[in-house]
Structure 1
Amino acid sequence: MSAVLGVAVLGLGLSALYALASLGIVLIYRGSGVINFAQGAVGLCAAYIWFELHINQGWGYPAALLIAVAAAAAVGALIHIGLMRQLKSASSLARTIATLGLLISLQALVILRYGTNVNVVPSALPTGAWTIGDVTFPQDRVILISIAFALSAGLWWMYRFTDFGRATSAVAEDQTLSAAVGVSPDVVATVNWALGCGLAALAAILVAPIITLQASSMTTLVLAALAAALIAQFRSFPVAFIASVALGVGQTILTRYTTQPGLAAAAPFLVIVVVMIVRGQAVPLRDHVLARLPAVGTGRLRAPLVLAGVVGTIVLANVSSDAWTQSFGATFALSLFMLSFVVLIGYVGQISLAQWPLAGFGAWVAGRLGASQGMPLLPAIVIGILATVALGVVIALPALRARGIKLAIVTLGLGTALELMLFQNSTYTGGLSGTAVQLEIAGWNFDAGTHPDRYLFVTFGAFVLAAIVVTNMRRGLVGRRMLAVRTNERAAAALGIGVRSVKLYGFAVAAGIAALGAILFSFAVGIVDYTEFSSFHSILYTCLAFVGGIGFVSGPLLGSPLAPGTVGTQFGTVVLSGVATYLSLIGGVVLILSVLLNQDGIAKDLATSVRQITSRLGPRHQPQQSTVRRQLADDSADGATRTRTRVRPSALAVDRLSVRYGNVVVVDDVSLAVRPGQVIGLIGPNGAGKTTLLDAVTGFTRVASGRVTLNDDDMTRCSPVFRARAGVSRAFQSLELFEDLTALENIVAATDPTSRSCYLRDLVHPAPLKFSAGVLDAIREFQLEQDLDRPASELPYGRRRLLAIARAVANGPSVLLLDEPAAGLSGEETRELATVVRRLARDWGMAVLLIEHDVEFVLETCDELVVLNFGRVISRGAPLEVRNDPAVVAAYLGGETKVPSPSKELRR
């Protein structure tokens, strides 16, 4: 026992590093809502400033420490002012990419100045030991952990009891309200960025004597501190400290007592995965309400561009030197790998930082099958791809409970664990020199060193085939499902789209593409060095895909030349002598500028230019829109004899339903029924629980008690997707349209078949848009004929609201739930909408339940009103009868009356 305790004590130094780093991460997140992946890089730079001043220039330790920490704090403030403040309305993807760009740039600066050598630095702390019984306590470790404890206690006190701490908490809760009462979110965020980066510097300098000073080690270790910050939910300083101690001590014990190489180093990253899966709740990011995802392409494959690529490749193979030909081949191979980002991040919206290690798994399987089993290359590649697809599905499982930055952290943990436990274990990789392979198929050698022209043709051909698959996917039913999930998972589920299936499919396809690209890239010269499949390279390639255009098939071709080993390296070496050395730094700077200036990527600008040129040559062809307009025109011609198909009649019943958030009762024992052809109005003051009731009916909120039935079928525990497919449709108060799709595609998304055959069919032949009778009726009912080919994001607000309702009714639901459908509409638009809602009930046969604050709209539209106040029903009956009910008047105007005793807690 004493031996284990002695080993555990040695882990206090690592615990101190994790604690100080995680405290800085928590500080920055609490103040700005950003998880700073560059925390380790900032600390690394500060440690080298201290190293330069103290070791090289002979400054005293305290002075050098003070200057380095102050410099890091200043850098932190500048990062917020110059970068993050400009991205406050950007998506979580853009902010994540910005911090990753900082990581790449800062680490590149250190490598350019100091190289990758290990620097052993002396400790300013006592290096002796105290002995208590059989246990020896190194003085420097005890002092380090004491400093970390004191800082965590001090930060806890400051953020709990000081004005600045309360201001930070207020900003974390609501930035707009904080600004209204005189608290500047920018000032709070700037100070927290400075404090957080200062802590990163202090951590790096204090721990450098223990772990040595090297360009990459500090960054990896601080990324592991994300596990402690995650356990603390990026908020609690004491929890972050306790988790850091546990991680550091546990990792040290694993290092001493386990024989599995890499397990100890991977432990913090495995903890990240376990915590995310168990907790199953999204990190509370404070995305701006107008946060916008990067643009995506249309998926149109232009034959002239493909033909030009073929001709250009043939010319390159015949006129270029071997070095240039090889570099172009490597560029196409890496571009093929980056197509996986287009599928996964661009189309599905899942931020994965594990793609390169995941792709390396496919290369490892193929390489080891060939080297150790003598298997021919082609079947080895196929098995490698299939194995990677299977692993991709496994990695996707946490994505079913995660999204956004949370998923990025999970995948970073998985990728790093794979790197440490597999790729850095020479027992599994064929020795320190890697695996010897031969790129040979059917007797033809495609080795880039001996036959660069053949290698170029293979990689170009593979890229073109994969690009065709990806564009087919984008244009088909699968593409609409993917973009729906990427834009709004709630709205997608409310239309019956299987969100889980789409995510799993996206991860699987992206994994297969990534594996093929990695195999062709790493097999180029006959030796596969698996240590290259690192999480840092995965971060780099993710960022370069973002620069090129992460939603466009041409994006990888535009971003990959900035990667090492591609045509950019060759250009920098031959044409601009010495530039290749600075390629990582250039890539990082370009990335930061791209995030600031063009979050859609270079490909978006290129596509816009191509459209402008082609528009001058002739009018744009819109076959899908032309087809639907033709059908609408044909229907209008014989409209007098046309009879609208009524929906399947179904009745919705809510029986004594209650919803609780913790101890707060938000909906309390509510019962109501909606029958076919009937419009029921659900009204009440703000905070009465109306939207929460709709969330419970549609499956987005867990029911505490009671039942929801559809034609006597109990749906209380059914998923939102099941309820939507059963005939319960919903239009949201906040619209929640699919902004990347056109108005027509938004409507059609509600009527797409639910079969899964499209997941394979669309890879080869995407199915064209199909226009059901419900789609045509919805378009005509809401007069959207002139808006069909416009992206939803470009429509005026009134048209957007009508589109949201049209989408909800297009698949002919039996029950329609409308949440404030008239909000933001003009008086004339509101009267027209009231007529339409009545028609939906009378002519379509729908059972309609609506929430609305517009009294005239409710009186004109509804057959019956149900009034909620503090989650309870206080009145029900005919509209005029309810309007004059004293209990209703009291609820809206605050008068005195006898009403059921409500909970005094604030409700949603």
Structure 2
Amino acid sequence: MTDVLRYALLGLGTGGIYALLAVGLVVIYRGSGVINFAHAGFALVGAYMTYHLQTLEGHGLAFSLTAAVLLTAVLGVLTHHLVMRPLRGASPLARVIATLGLLTVLTQAVQLKYGTQQLLTRSPLPNDAVTVATDVVVGRYAFWLVGIAVVTTLVLTVVSARTRMGHAISAAAENPRGAAALGWAPDLLASVTWAIGGGLAALAGGLFPATTFGFLSPVPFGVLIIGALATALLGGFRSYPLALVGGLLIGAAQSATRHWTNQTGVPDAVPFLVIIVVLVLRGRGLPLRGSVTDRLPRVGTGRIRPALVLVLAGVAMLWVGLGAPADWYAPTIISATFALIGLSIVVLTGYAGQLSIAQFALAGIGAFAAGRLAAFHGWRFEPALVAGVVVAMAVGLLFALPALRTRGVNLAVVTFGLGFAVHQIVFSNSDYTAKVAPGEISLFGLDIEPIGHARNYALVCLLLLTLTALVVANVRRGRSGRRLLAVRTNERAAAAIGVNVFEAKLYAFTLSAGIAGLGGVLLGFSYPTILYPQVFEPGASITVLVLTVIGSIGYLVGPFIGALSAPGGLITLLGSDTPAVAAQADPGWQQYLPLAAALALVLTLILSQHGAAESLDAATRRLRARIPGLRPGRPAPLPATVKATVPAGRLTVHGLTQRFGGFTALDAVDLTVGPGEVVGLLGPNGAGKTTLIDCVAGNNRVTAGSIRWGDRDITRWAPYRRARAGLSRSFQSLELFDDLTVRENLLAAADRRDRLAYLLDLVRPGRPTLPGTVVAAVDELGLAPLLDTRAQDLSYGQRRLVAIARAVASSPSVLLLDEPAAGLDETESTELGRLIRRLADEWGMGILLIEHDVALVLANADRVVVLDFGHKIAEGTPSEIRNDTAVRRAYLGEEEQPVSVG
């Protein structure tokens, strides 16, 4: 017990550093809504600036530390104004990626200036021993760090609770527009918080050498950010006191773990375990601040032009196989494997919207499995390669489990820690990774050993890269790709058209991990002995993400463009006749590549977050339209409208009650919708109409009552399961899939939901056609000219019509329409009314119609139900409702006037 106490107390110093960093993260998040992954970079700048002023220039500690804090605070303000402010309209993922790029910029700048070797400086705090209890001796610096963290937390807590500025920041954290309405400039609040956060990071960095007895190196700062993120999560990125306590507990737990186990890397994984517990088991992510102008990176069509692919791939392979000098082989292998791992990011982040910062960890796991099987069990290259890919897919499936409870930025936090944990526990453990030498390897009898036959190995890498790119293109064009893009854009809307979000995420992670594993095996086997800690270090996941975003994260060409600049890749061929030898002897300009790539990333995101491939696509669109073979394909013609029926289904709602806390939104509502019947649902604002649809569609968990589909109770069914059974809905807020064309929006809803598509799409995505009900809706609503237009480029009225058509696309038995005529003109409303009657009369579809346009409802409904304050006050035919006393009272507050029907 004494040893545990000693180790726990020894961890207080690190806990104090975690607390200071975490409090800075919380300050920035509260003021700007950004999770600053560059925080470790700020701390690194503060540490080396303090070192430079104190050790190299001979200034005192107080001056050096103060100057470092102030200058890093200025750096924080510049970060907000030069990077974050221009990205206000970008997606939260883009803002996180920008902070990762900034982290790389700061880290590379420090390493270029001071190197990566360990430096010796004076400890900023007293490190003499203090006896706490019998045989428990702790350095005095630990109590100093805890005291500084406590004072800092106390000051920030008081300022937050007692000052107008603190109140404004708290208000902005909840409602930025509300704070602006009260006279506070959001930019000013964000600048202040970035300055404070940057200053606190510098303070933590400047004091950090006290925990290492004066030794300073860039390496530990990458690990510190994991502990800081875990600490901030314990405080919900809102509470300073909880962040303080969390930091001290994590530091103590990390130190105590070193006493309990000798396993390499396990203590460093403690913060990651905290992240998993807090984010995954708690089941709630961080509330992300965005705006209606948020835009995700654009996605390509995945269209393949076979002639162009054959020509480009053939030229590349002929050049490498016959014309290129030997110095091309190694850079080609590196760029090809980086492009492969980049393709895994296209699938996961570009298509599915799941940001992972652990793709190189997955690549390393594939190389780890394949390498050990080849080196220690004598496996041939072919089965070892397959096994490496399969193992990577299995681990990717485990990586996907946090994605089921978190998403987007929250998932980035999980995978960021996961990548570090895998590196520390597996790749850095010499018991697992020492002397893994694959030896002589061949592929179907062809010698491809990368040292003696590097040309053959490079050709294999290019061939597998081309085949993988074709697979990813097939996924984009197939049913599985439309499911992934639906999930990426709007999970609630995806579930409403029958997409199993859980299943789609598992697929994206598994496929992505397999592709990354393939790249990892090829990269690892290109070395005589696989040096896992160096080749698959955590920063490589950031590097490949940076390069892929620069190239375009949603386009197949994006990873190819980005991989050209991979460290050691084809870009090293510039400016040297013998790049490989020259880079080893004198890195020269090549040492600036990571810094240049990170700067290019930030500029790319600011100017156009879509990347180089999208910009090139847009710039050459007119030129390509004039060249045969490169012209856009002709729009697929609409099939003829055929008369068909939809499966019969009856919706029965009995005693439906929905409470939110002490407020009752619905109180014992009964409702039925049968085949071929239009039921109107009327009521003033706040009557509970949309709440009823949310309950019926499965978006709300009902308090009491039952929802039946025919003779089955579906009250507890998931939304996607209800949609597949034949219960479809539209949304008041539309919730289209903006990255897809109108045709693809409709196809996404009309697609079969079979799981076989996840496999078939890899090789043959097929050519889908719109079903008859959709063609009827397209004809009736005049959408034919818009079928190949992206949804984000439509006007509001057009978007409204597309949302209706998409709700019809799955040929539901019962269709729930939530204010479909909002924003439509008189002509469009009339067309909508005709479509509703046609769907009911000709196709046998039951329709529940919610509308504020009373005339539209009364003119087209067979029965009308009226709600008021959650109670059903009337039900009957339109003529009966028109003269109902309770309805007149609810709408007009009087009984003398009938309800106008226009």
TM-score range, shorter chain: over 0.9
Matches within 5 A, 1:848-859: 848-859=847-858
C-alpha distance in 2 between matches for 1:569 and 1:686: 65
1:225 to 223, 228, 237: 228
Shift of 1:59: 1.1
Shift of 1:661: 3.7
Residue 522 of structure 2 corresponds to 520
Residue aligned with 2:735, SS = coil
TM-score (norm 2): 0.94
1:221 & 1:348 partners in 2: Cα distance? 30
Q: Secondary structure at the match of 2:656?
A: strand
Alpha-carbon separation, structure 2, partners of 1:269 and 1:125:
29
Whole-Å Cα distance in 2 between the matches of residues 780 and 392 of structure 1? 44
State the alpha-carbon separation in 2 of the partners of residues 583 and 889 from structure 1: 73
> Alignment partner for residue 464 of structure 1, among 466, 470, 476?
466
CA positional deviation for 1:249: 0.4
Letter in 2 for 1:154: V
Q: Secondary structure at the match of 1:670?
A: strand
Could you say which residue in structure 2 is the equivalent of 1:154?
A: 155
Change in 2 beyond 3 A, CA 1:65/1:785:
same
1:319 aligns with: 323
Say whether the 8 Å CA contact 2:101–2:546 is kept in structure 1: yes
The residue identity in structure 1 corresponding to 2:277 is V
Change over 3 Å in CA distance of 1:614–1:894 after alignment to 2: same
Query: 1:117 is paired with a residue of what secondary structure?
Result: coil
Q: Which amino acid aligns with 2:380?
A: P
- SS of aligned partner of 2:243: helix
1:838 maps onto 2:837 in alignment:
yes
Against the structure 1 CA distance between its residues 3 and 216, is the aligned structure 2 distance closer, same or farther, given a 3 Å change threshold?
closer
Give 1:536-685 correspondences, 5 Å limit: 536-571=539-574, 578-617=588-627, 625-628=635-638, 631-632=639-640, 635=641, 644-685=643-684
**Cα distance 1:553–1:319, how it changes in 2: closer, same or farther (>3 A)?**
same
Does the 8 Å contact 1:40/1:223 carry over to 2?
Answer: no
The percentage of counterpart residues that share the same residue type is 44
1:301-321 Cα distance to aligned partner (Å, 9 max, x none): 222243133223322443333
Distance (whole Å) between structure 2 residues aligned to residue 599 and residue 463 of structure 1: 25
Counterpart position of 1:713: 712
Q: For 1:852 and 1:198, how far apart are their aligned partners in 2?
A: 54
**Match of residue 14 from structure 1:** 14
Cα 1:158/1:886, change in 2 over 3 Å: farther
The Cα offsets for residues 529-552 of structure 1, whole Å up to 9 and x where unpaired, read as: 100312211011111111111111
Residue 874 (structure 1) shift: 4.6
Q: Deviations over 1:750-806 (max 9, x none)?
A: 221121122211111122113322232222232222111222222222111111111
Amino acid at match of 1:792: A
Q: Secondary structure at the match of 1:682?
A: strand
Aligned to 1:905: none
1:241 aligned to 2:262? no
Please give the alpha-carbon distance, in whole angstroms, between the structure 2 residues aligned to 1:286 and 1:397.
Answer: 24
Shift of 1:589: 0.4
Change (3 A) 1:335 1:619: closer
Q: Contact 2:223/2:268 (CA < 8 Å) preserved in 1?
A: no
Which residue of the partner structure matches residue 482 of structure 1?
484
What is the aligned residue count?
884
Aligned to 1:902: none
Aligned residue for 1:113, secondary structure, equals helix
Q: Distance in 2 between matches of 1:491 and 1:19?
A: 40
Deviations, residues 61-83 of structure 1 (Å, cap 9, x unaligned): 11111111111111111111111
Structure 1's 865 and 276: CA in aligned 2 closer, same or farther, altered over 3 A?
same
Per the alignment, residue 691 of structure 1 pairs with 690
Q: Given the alignment of the two structures, is residue 741 of structure 1 paired with residue 740 of structure 2, yes or no?
A: yes
**Are 1:304 and 2:303 matched, yes or no?**
no
Q: Secondary structure at the match of 1:401?
A: coil
**2:424 aligned with 1:400, yes or no?**
no
1:438 and 1:667 map into 2 onto residues whose CA distance is: 72
Contact 1:76 1:194 in 2 (8 A): yes
d(CA) in 2 for partners of 1:440, 1:145: 58
Contact 1:108 1:585 survives alignment (8 Å): yes
Mark the CA change 1:623 to 1:308 in structure 2 (over 3 Å): closer, same or farther: closer
Deviation, 1:617, is 3.0
8 Å contact 1:345–1:352 — kept in the other structure?
yes
Contact 1:485-1:502 within 8 A present in 2 as well: yes
In structure 1, the residue matched to 2:257 is 254
What letter matches 2:29 in structure 1? Y
* 1:770 pairs with 2:769: yes
> Within the alignment, does 1:190 sit opposite 2:191 as a pair?
yes
Question: Given the alignment of the two structures, is residue 346 of structure 1 paired with residue 334 of structure 2, yes or no?
Answer: no
Q: CA deviation at 1:275?
A: 2.2
1:826-847 deviation line (CA, Å, top 9, x unaligned):
2322233233223333333322
Q: Deviations over 1:270-318 (max 9, x none)?
A: 2212322211223210122221111111112222243133223322443
State the alpha-carbon separation in 2 of the partners of residues 231 and 624 from structure 1: 54
Any unmatched runs of 5+ in structure 2? 897-902
C-alpha distance in 2 between matches for 1:296 and 1:227:
33
Change (3 A) 1:697 1:461: same
Aligned equivalents of 1:85, 1:396: Cα separation in 2: 32
- Partner Cα separation in structure 1 for residue 274 and residue 163 of structure 2: 33
Q: Name the aligned partner's letter for residue 5 of structure 1.
A: L
CA distance in 1, matches of 2:55, 2:475: 57
Deviations 1:603-656 (A, max 9, x none): 11233345322311359877673332xx33xx5xxxxxx6x3233332222222
Indicate yes or no: 2:278 matched with 1:275.
yes
1:12-38 per-residue CA deviation (whole Å, 9 max, x = no partner) reads 011111111111111111111110000
By how many angstroms is 1:557 displaced?
1.1
- Does residue 37 of structure 2 align to residue 37 of structure 1? yes
What is the alpha-carbon distance in structure 1 between the residues aligned to residue 860 and residue 142 of structure 2? Answer: 73
Tell me the TM-score normalised to structure 1 length.
0.93
Gaps in structure 1 of 5+ consecutive residues: 636-641, 898-908
For residues 525 and 405 of structure 2, what CA distance do their matches in structure 1 show?
36
Mapped partners of 1:127, 1:894: distance in 2: 78
Distance 1:624 1:480 in 2: 20
* C-alpha contact (below 8 Å) 1:25/1:36 kept by paired residues: yes
Residue matched to 2:899: none
Q: In structure 2, what is the equivalent of residue 638 of structure 1?
A: none
SS of equivalent residue, structure 2 residue 216: coil
SS of residue paired to 2:389 = helix
For 2:610, the aligned partner's letter is D
CA-CA distance at 1:881 after TM superposition: 5.8
Question: One-letter code of the match for 1:144?
Answer: L
Q: Which moved more, 1:170-179 or 1:799-808?
A: 170-179
- Cα deviations across residues 419-453 of structure 1 (Å, max 9, x unaligned)? 1110000001125xx54544433454323333232
Alignment partners' CA distance in 1, 2:84 and 2:131: 48
Partner of 2:96: 96
The answer for the alignment partner of 2:817 in structure 1 is: 818
Asked if 1 retains the 8 angstrom alpha-carbon contact of 2:334 and 2:566, the reply is no
- Tell me which amino acid in the other structure corresponds to 1:476: G
Equivalent-residue separation in structure 1 for 2:183 and 2:64 (angstroms) = 38
d(CA) in 2 for partners of 1:725, 1:604 = 35
Question: How far is 1:870 from its partner?
Answer: 4.2
Q: Match for residue 796 of structure 2?
A: 797
Q: Is the 8 A contact 2:777 2:805 kept in 1?
A: yes
In structure 2, the CA distance between the partners of 1:848 and 1:427, relative to structure 1 (3 Å rule), is same
Distance 1:315-1:119 versus aligned 2 partners, 3 A rule: same
- The answer as to 2:501 corresponding to 1:499 is yes
User: Which residue of 2 is the match for residue 903 of structure 1?
Assistant: none
Separation (CA, whole Å) in 1 of partners of 2:629 and 2:44: 56
SS in 1 for 2:100: helix
Structure 2 partner of 1:216: 219
Write the letter of the residue equivalent to 2:767.
P
